[in-house]
Structure 1
Amino acid sequence: MWIPRALRRPARPTGLLLALAVGTLAAVPAAGQVPTPASIIGFAPGTERQLADWNDLTGYYEALARASDRVALDTLGPTTDGRPFVMLTITSPENHAQLDELQSIQRRLADPRLLTGEAELEELLDRGRTVVLITHGIHATEVGSSQSAANLAYRLASSNDGRVREILDNVVVLQIPSLNPDGLQWVAEWYREWVGTRYEASDLPWLYHRYVGHDNNRDWYAFTQQETQLTIELAHNAWRPQIVHDIHQMGGSGARIFFPPYTEPWDPNIDPALTSAVSQLGTWMAAELTAQGKPGVVVQAIYDAYTPARAYQHYHAGARILSETASADLATSVVSVDPADIGGGREYDVGTRSWKYPWPWEGGRWGLPQIVDYMESGAMALLTNAARNRRYWLENFVGIGERAIAERTEGPRAWVIPADQSNQPGVDYALRVLAMADVEVHRAVEPFTVAGERFAAGSWVVPLNQPYGSFAQTMLERQVYPDLREYPGGPPKRPYDVTAHTLPLLLDFEAIPVDEPVQAALSDPIDPPAFDFELPPELRGDAAPRIGIYKGWREPMEAGWTRWVFDQHGLAYDTIHDATMRDGALGDHFDVILLQDQSATQIVQGFAEGSVPPGYSGGIGDAGVTALRDFVRGGGRLVAIEGATDLAIDLFDLDVSNAVDRLPSQDFYIPGSLLSLEITDERFGTGLEPETAAWYWGSSRVFDVSDPTVRVLARFADRPLLSGWVLGAERVAGRPAIVEATVGAGTVTLFGFQPNYRGQSMATWPLLFRALSGVRLGIFDHN
């Protein structure tokens, strides 16, 4: 859902409004008495085997805002499932009295074009405050973050010690206590239902975000989800924080907490002064916790700073500080960790003292109390740095902005998106991304020529000498990821996430870099276009197929993303649960069944019996396998993607195999890149360009086809790499990527790559839609 610009400023709710949403006003104490979390929730957040849910926590924040003149509570909007999405603003009463003026100062410092001279700049630097955005709980099973948020808010609202007063005087703290309230509510309810039983730490048997699950922290350049949009528009863009602290949890077998510096590589479009600022702040935080006697603090390990999918503020002059605290079993402690069981470690050795890991953790008890303690200590260390170095943070912020608006001496000066492209929805998607990120995108009001190339009126122009030109550059250019190895000639160093994010390739449109400034009559910066996806032609009309998406208790995130894409297009579908699959007679209800990326073992067996509560274990089982076989042989259509292709190949004894299965990584490695795809089947590609970009990552396949009756619908190009990093390109070059087989009266279509990567790969959505419609065989022909 797009939020109009007129509605982007947060509206402060009345106490009654929020109380109606969460139902907790009765517990609010009288004004002036700052309530503890325990006085509202019933226990202190971080208590062993206790989890506060979103209703509890929003009730507490309402009580805190009513009682403290240091705290204001804003409801930014509804979550995906309709819960209140809130933000606390915490600072001194004196700062609250001039909050609008402080916000105005911040926005002028963010754009040096708005400054009139050195005298005004000096005045604003004296009057401004460091703005820090702290975000909690994006991953709902990382339960410590959302619990620690309440403790941190209470400490800042109630304490009068010198450290807290220094923070309040010099910092405006914006605290989003949960980036995923829906998932927080579900996980807390699930844990409380089963605490005290063998299942109290069992996995939640559905995605903890309706559409994206764990991928909600990979949405920070596509802005597809409601929670991302609210945070970008009403926190990041409204305030332009100098620092963003994103509080997470990681695996429990190694270090106890991670802070930056990040490992290499950094995206080269990030300002070098920001890289240095992140490194000094992270090292400060590590030193603070170590000085407090907390072992197991590690820096410059595990996490890199390459992809903008997790680091929006790095392209908006702000330092993004990720902290990752070791996990337990949800709110249940791991009672005794044997030193012999401590292992792992990427870019550090968990058993060896070093400069980046000076005090190794040697085992013992670890649980929610320790997690919350480490998290709160890390946040206080960050806020202390932000307060004591207020002038540094503001001056560095301005310096980054001044370099951003200076005329570039290297690389392109601007990007031009030509008018009248065939895929206007892709152009609109990209324009929405850029404009929502406050990139200034203009439209040419007349034809123009730049660098010897002629462009029509209506073309879009993105100058790069603007405050957030680095975001435009990283989103529009093709990525060239460095060839990093564990040792010379050895296996690759694994990126933390992926290596490509090129919007023109993902969204199937043309963007042209130009090496000269654009001299043309241009419009004012455009507003972001709304999502406007239409139902694909193949799926319109009375003969649209009845689509079923398989959803077991171990649902992959890609299935959630697929539901999001279908919902955006208004495409009707039904969900097929394990029991439905086992009941059989699938052809009575469905024409086509989609299996998203999931292993055959997960589909057939699901959760092991005893690992989750009764009713949630098992998969489709033998009965479901038989039903699926009968469905296809009886005339149904099966579309299987990536890992699910293994089940289809075995089930129908197809003479198809994965050509890159079990190859060592030094011979073949594609950690997340965009490859050139050639559509080789004329019928399948009718009306489409013969080449497009396909997303390939760890679960993708490259097919070998020995049976001549198996039709190859698309192949990877002979020179496959378009953006990212590929080792062993010859292993994929020219190989089949989409194949189709007739089985009995039905068909099976296999996708070796992911046609719907995080709701972003619009370029290959048409191929998925055509596979679902059966257009290749004319089963649902709309000629």
Structure 2
Amino acid sequence: MIKRYFRKGAWMLMLVAGFNATAQEVPTPKSHFGFTIGDNYQLANYTQTEAYFKKLAASSNRVKLVDIGKTEEGRSQYMLIVTSPENHKNLAKYKAISQKLARAEGLTEQEAKELAQQGKTVVWIDGGLHANETVGAHQLIQTAYNLSSRTDAETTKILDNVIVLMTHANPDGQELQTNWYMRETNPEKRSLAGLPRLYQKYAGHDNNRDFFMLNLKETQNMGRQLFIEWNPQIMYNHHQSGPAGTVVAGPPFRDPHNYVFDPIILTSLDAVGAAMHNRLNVEDKPGYTQRGGSVFSTWYNGGLRTTTYFHNMVGLLTEIVGSPTPMEIPLVPSRLLPNSDSPNPVTPQKWYFKNAIDYSVSLNYAVLNYAQRYHDELLFNMYKMGKNSIDRGSKDNWSFSPQKIEAINAAAKKDNVSANSRRGMDSKYFDEVMKDPKLRDARGYILSADQPDFTTAIRFLNALIRTGVVVHKATAPFTVEGKKYPAGSYVVKTDQAFRPHVLDMFEPQDHPNDFKYEGGPPVAPYDAAGWTLAYLMNVKFDRIVNAFDGPFQKTPYGELLKATPQALPTASGYALSAQANESYLAVNELLNAKVEVLRNPADGSFYVPASAAAKAALNKAEHNFGMKVTAASKPKGAVKVKPSRIALWDTYGGSMPSGWIRYIMEQYHYDVTVVYPPDIDAGKLKNNYDVLIMVGGSVPAFANEAGGRGFNPPVVENIPDEFKGRVGRMTAEKSVPQLKAFLENGGNIVAIGSATNLAAHLGLPVVNALLTTEGKRLPNDKYYVPGSVLSVKTDTKLAANKGLDENTDIYFDNSPVFKITESTNSVRPLAWFATDKPLRSGWAWGQAYLKDGIAAFEADYGKGKLYAFGPEITFRAQTHGTFKWLFNQLYK
């Protein structure tokens, strides 16, 4: 017994010694950066952070460094995998278990429980997504060091039972923001304000709105790890800043939640949120608020946190107060009285960067400790949610929504039964709606290969595939419910684990009418209310509510679709449809190759005379998506197409709408020059440009009109020479006359969103259509349409509308709507609201006010034209269905 005890004790001593050796070998942040993480006036840039991560991986057997891909600026984006040395030996096994449980395919409940016992919880912790929120990247550094070096019992249990994926979300942004802050030698003069450009090359802050679309390289890199490779059970997305008078806002979140979620998501958020909140209270760290204490909900899809809910992950968000420059927790008396949202209020006080780092590390440990204590439960619950989704998609199912509840109440009202009856209603009213065969959830969606813009449909499907959705391809022609579909068509069924995401991309969002109180103002949704991607991309699909099958081949998880290029037809010329976005890319390739391109005025299609150069350019353009090219003869009245000299407005600090258009221009191979207010104010624009693109925020408001006041850059000292030419703002006195001169001399302006203010400056007979009889703007309690999808009617005979459908879906965010005040041929409506119910997806309170309002118009001005689009036609590079409204105006 003594000998056995001695051996066990010696083994324990060796283990402790091993941990101590690891701790001694791991470099501290201070030894590397020259300061302690959280020191006032000190920030690390990404170059330094990358070097430190490499040191951690080299010195600690708990850390593996993985390059998950390149950023938009060409840096390596790193993810640290942190777990025990023993777990590192079996990473492939644990990844496979996580994938199997997340996908829930072909597993019995008993098999899933056994796998859950064998597996390790996978927890994602990120930082730095929004680069000006500097706590995020720095808590990542500190937490990585703690997990790499600490030998306490809690850390040891975490490492034994959890695989931590520590991911830097925006390397480019950290490099830019830190270098900007640290450029001042006097620490007290350092400021995060005045950054000269977007901290993500194209999107800036909108990089956190790209996670169902996955346009950006960084979001693609992270999406692959989240939805294809690791499928973590918990993901934690660090942000700032918390609401005034608090320190941090976190889970659980306020209503409404998206109705496609499995309920386990909501109760899991309660459980993990309680662990986070409780730990801070135990550690005497007040100031945590939840639910109604902040604006954050679980309705929206598209954020790094929020998209994970649609994949059965427990997505966590905290918004914390903190800055390398010391700050104050302000006095907000209404926050001082404890309530269930904020049971431990914080009092006004000085707040230091180190405070925010300490809180963040505590919150990370709360999450990780929960994950290690309940690792088998978290793994099994992910399977259970996936299996529930498969079951719901395999049978008749009716999902609840506000519209269905209204339908139940309407059915009862016919019998004079009150919806507010305390005794309840007869269940027949429930049956009338929730057993109506026409109101069943879809079993799947068929995307026919013969639709007009199949290349965009493939882009849409690839967005789904990047998020782990299962897609099937038809290997032969097939028939479903009497309709024939060609081989090469695609099918997305709902009997899969990520069914919530599938529904969210195909079905309309039905946001509830959400008001502070009856008759009061609306509660703004967190970001958008509706975003159905199939609508925004104008993808044609058939919604099938009965079980169906066919010659369908499953595509491998994460493997993107590439249509097989077809040989060009033998002909004297080729036609490219204006309905396909890819045709515009091909036209740009042809024009760059000096190949003649003509346009058919009847339908907007492009005609290309056959030649060796034309074939080479078309084959190049066709490579990825299998664009359709048909044999054609020269159409009657064809007009030669020439590339325009395109200018795109931007501003010091960077405009996100402008950045997204830069991204689109690169994707579709347009040459564009970015111009700034000083460039416009310098005049003589027509000498250099044919088309000027103006986005929201560029044109100042006219007279007393609200909105679109223009960017007003902060006063910044020591601006580098390369950015000085960008400083300034558009003014009615100096900038607008130059825009008028540009139009008068034959230039064209594409104005989007509030840039349509220009119409008033030009004196066009166009006014705001959404006014009361007293000439005031409609109040929000009468009319309110936050980011949603609406339908408009278009005049397809007009050249500006070629390739668009007669009924087109638009992204609308309380956007400008117009009325023409006098009969004139010089102003022509391009799109208008033809009904009093144009809502397709989202929330539109008082939508009847939109009827007959004009959404877009073109107007002659001098020798040029103004194209005014109230809706966001290029919104976040997601609205492929309205890209043609921009593309059509970019040729001479």
Please report the TM-score for the alignment, with normalisation by the length of structure 1: 0.89
Structure 2 residue matching 1:89: 3-state secondary structure: strand
Shift of residue 562, structure 1, vs aligned partner: 0.5
**Greater Rg over alpha carbons, structure:** 2
2:521 to 488, 491, 496: 491
1:744 matches 2:862: yes
Structure 1 residue matching 2:207: 3-state secondary structure: helix
Other-structure match for 2:742:
631
Query: 756-765 or 503-512, which moves further after superposition?
Result: 503-512
Residues 197 and 326 of structure 1, relative CA distance in 2, 3 Å threshold: closer
Other-structure match for 1:25:
none
Residues 747 and 117 of structure 1, relative CA distance in 2, 3 Å threshold: closer
1:757 to 875, 880, 884: 875
Other-structure match for 1:11:
none
2:390 to 405, 408, 426: 405
1:676 to 791, 805, 814: 791
1:159 matches 2:150: yes
Other-structure match for 2:321:
326
1:193 to 165, 183, 189: 183
2:715 to 610, 614, 618: 610
For 1:566 and 1:610, locate their aligned partners in 2 and report how far apart those are by CA, in whole Å.
31
Residues 612 and 428 of structure 1, relative CA distance in 2, 3 Å threshold: farther
Shift of residue 580, structure 1, vs aligned partner: 2.0
Q: Deviation per CA, 1:460-503: give whole Å up to 9, x if none.
A: 22221122222111111112111122112322221111111212
Residues 687 and 168 of structure 1, relative CA distance in 2, 3 Å threshold: closer
- Does the Cα contact within 8 Å between 2:244 and 2:330 map onto a contact in 1? no
Q: Percent identity?
A: 30
- Does the Cα contact within 8 Å between 2:104 and 2:383 map onto a contact in 1? yes
Shift of residue 630, structure 1, vs aligned partner: 1.6
Q: Deviation per CA, 1:437-469: give whole Å up to 9, x if none.
A: 222111223343434544343332222112222
1:434 to 454, 464, 468: 464
Letter in 2 for 1:86: Y
- Does the Cα contact within 8 Å between 1:140 and 1:180 map onto a contact in 2? yes
Shift of residue 386, structure 1, vs aligned partner: 0.5
For 1:218 and 1:474, locate their aligned partners in 2 and report how far apart those are by CA, in whole Å.
15
2:831 to 688, 694, 714: 714
1:306 matches 2:299: yes
Query: 741-750 or 678-687, which moves further after superposition?
Result: 678-687
- Does the Cα contact within 8 Å between 1:681 and 1:714 map onto a contact in 2? no
Shift of residue 428, structure 1, vs aligned partner: 0.8
Residues 372 and 450 of structure 1, relative CA distance in 2, 3 Å threshold: same
Q: Deviation per CA, 1:328-367: give whole Å up to 9, x if none.
A: 4xx2121x4442xx38xxxxx5243201111222211123
For 1:163 and 1:628, locate their aligned partners in 2 and report how far apart those are by CA, in whole Å.
65
- Does the Cα contact within 8 Å between 2:474 and 2:491 map onto a contact in 1? yes
- Does the Cα contact within 8 Å between 2:699 and 2:730 map onto a contact in 1? no
1:68 matches 2:56: no
Shift of residue 583, structure 1, vs aligned partner: 2.2
Query: 180-189 or 554-563, which moves further after superposition?
Result: 554-563
Structure 2 residue matching 1:362: 3-state secondary structure: coil
Query: 530-539 or 285-294, which moves further after superposition?
Result: 530-539
1:643 to 750, 754, 772: 754
Structure 2 residue matching 1:462: 3-state secondary structure: strand
For 2:443 and 2:85, locate their aligned partners in 1 and report how far apart those are by CA, in whole Å.
45
Letter in 1 for 2:346: W
Structure 2 residue matching 1:372: 3-state secondary structure: helix
Query: 96-105 or 47-56, which moves further after superposition?
Result: 96-105
Shift of residue 199, structure 1, vs aligned partner: 6.3
Residues 481 and 744 of structure 1, relative CA distance in 2, 3 Å threshold: same
Other-structure match for 1:691:
807
Other-structure match for 1:767:
885
- Does the Cα contact within 8 Å between 1:264 and 1:304 map onto a contact in 2? yes
For 1:247 and 1:398, locate their aligned partners in 2 and report how far apart those are by CA, in whole Å.
26
Other-structure match for 1:728:
846
Other-structure match for 1:581:
680
Shift of residue 712, structure 1, vs aligned partner: 1.4
Q: Deviation per CA, 1:137-163: give whole Å up to 9, x if none.
A: 110100111011110000001001111
Other-structure match for 1:284:
275
1:391 to 351, 376, 382: 376
- Let me know the Cα RMSD of the aligned residues: 2.4
1:368 matches 2:353: yes
- Does the Cα contact within 8 Å between 1:199 and 1:612 map onto a contact in 2? no
Letter in 2 for 1:741: A
- Does the Cα contact within 8 Å between 1:498 and 1:673 map onto a contact in 2? yes
Query: 93-102 or 200-209, which moves further after superposition?
Result: 200-209
For 1:538 and 1:590, locate their aligned partners in 2 and report how far apart those are by CA, in whole Å.
20
Residues 377 and 534 of structure 1, relative CA distance in 2, 3 Å threshold: farther
Q: Deviation per CA, 1:373-424: give whole Å up to 9, x if none.
A: 2211111111111111112112212211221222233112122112210011
Point out where structure 1 has 5 or more consecutive residues left out of the alignment.
Answer: 1-28, 344-348, 774-779
- Does the Cα contact within 8 Å between 1:534 and 1:570 map onto a contact in 2? no
Pairwise mapping of residues 371-382 of structure 1 onto structure 2 (< 5 A)?
371-382=356-367
For 1:303 and 1:219, locate their aligned partners in 2 and report how far apart those are by CA, in whole Å.
18
Query: 463-472 or 125-134, which moves further after superposition?
Result: 463-472
* Count of paired positions: 732
For 2:278 and 2:339, locate their aligned partners in 1 and report how far apart those are by CA, in whole Å.
14
- Does the Cα contact within 8 Å between 1:535 and 1:569 map onto a contact in 2? yes
Shift of residue 736, structure 1, vs aligned partner: 0.8
2:560 to 522, 525, 528: 528
- Does the Cα contact within 8 Å between 2:456 and 2:582 map onto a contact in 1? no
- Does the Cα contact within 8 Å between 2:242 and 2:249 map onto a contact in 1? no
Structure 1 residue matching 2:182: 3-state secondary structure: helix
Shift of residue 100, structure 1, vs aligned partner: 1.4
Query: 64-73 or 284-293, which moves further after superposition?
Result: 284-293
For 1:270 and 1:606, locate their aligned partners in 2 and report how far apart those are by CA, in whole Å.
39
Q: Deviation per CA, 1:84-134: give whole Å up to 9, x if none.
A: 10000000111112111111222222233344773x444322221111011
Please report the TM-score for the alignment, with normalisation by the length of structure 2: 0.79
For 2:644 and 2:36, locate their aligned partners in 1 and report how far apart those are by CA, in whole Å.
53
Structure 1 residue matching 2:522: 3-state secondary structure: coil
Shift of residue 219, structure 1, vs aligned partner: 0.7
- Does the Cα contact within 8 Å between 2:796 and 2:806 map onto a contact in 1? no
- Does the Cα contact within 8 Å between 2:41 and 2:190 map onto a contact in 1? no
Residues 627 and 192 of structure 1, relative CA distance in 2, 3 Å threshold: same
Other-structure match for 2:203:
212
Other-structure match for 1:112:
104
- Does the Cα contact within 8 Å between 1:244 and 1:319 map onto a contact in 2? yes
Point out where structure 2 has 5 or more consecutive residues left out of the alignment.
Answer: 1-20, 398-440, 564-580, 592-596, 598-640, 702-707, 772-776
Residues 165 and 316 of structure 1, relative CA distance in 2, 3 Å threshold: same
Other-structure match for 1:350:
335
For 1:491 and 1:605, locate their aligned partners in 2 and report how far apart those are by CA, in whole Å.
26
Other-structure match for 2:476:
446
- Does the Cα contact within 8 Å between 1:258 and 1:324 map onto a contact in 2? yes
Structure 1 residue matching 2:509: 3-state secondary structure: coil
2:663 to 544, 556, 564: 564
Other-structure match for 1:619:
729
1:666 matches 2:651: no
Residues 613 and 693 of structure 1, relative CA distance in 2, 3 Å threshold: farther
Other-structure match for 2:46:
54
Structure 2 residue matching 1:734: 3-state secondary structure: coil
Residues 479 and 610 of structure 1, relative CA distance in 2, 3 Å threshold: closer
Letter in 1 for 2:364: A
Other-structure match for 1:596:
695
Other-structure match for 1:508:
538
Shift of residue 576, structure 1, vs aligned partner: 0.9
